Amino acid sequence: MSTELVEVKYFYNEYEAQIAKSKLEALGIDAMIVKDDAGGMNPQLQLTEGVRIFVRESDAVVASEILEETNNIDEYFPGEVD
């Protein structure tokens, strides 16, 4: 089993990354969020530095496909917004 970690997705805030991480973990893929926002003291750094999700190299293809499928916001919030 590969223990190398690879980045599968880049986000501009931790909230979106947490949703994606939860989706992966619900489907049995371990995921890790990496961000540099000075320990939460400067969350605005997420806009420039980003928030990245890493998975095992052996899970990378499947994880990328899952995240690509859920790239549409309507999947997270079905229904019309008025």
Q: What CATH number is given to the structural domain containing 56? A: 3.30.70.1530
CA distance 55 to 78: 27
Q: Assess if residue 78 is contained within a domain.
A: no
Comparing CA positions, the residue from 2, 1, 20, 22 lying closest to residue 11 is 20
76 has a pLDDT exceeding 60: no
Q: Assess if residue 77 is contained within a domain.
A: no
Tens-digit pLDDT profile for residues 6-41:
999 988 888 889 999 999 999 999 999 988 776 667
* Domain limits for position 64: 5-72
Q: Assess if residue 81 is contained within a domain.
A: no
Mean pLDDT, residues 59-65 taken together: 94
Q: Assess if residue 31 is contained within a domain.
A: yes
Number of domains the chain contains: 1
Comparing CA positions, the residue from 22, 11, 23 lying closest to residue 70 is 23
pLDDT at 82: 52
* Contacts of 9 by beta carbon, 8 Å cutoff, 6+ apart: 17, 20, 52, 53, 64, 67
Q: What is the band of 65 on the pLDDT scale with cuts at 50, 70, 90?
A: very high
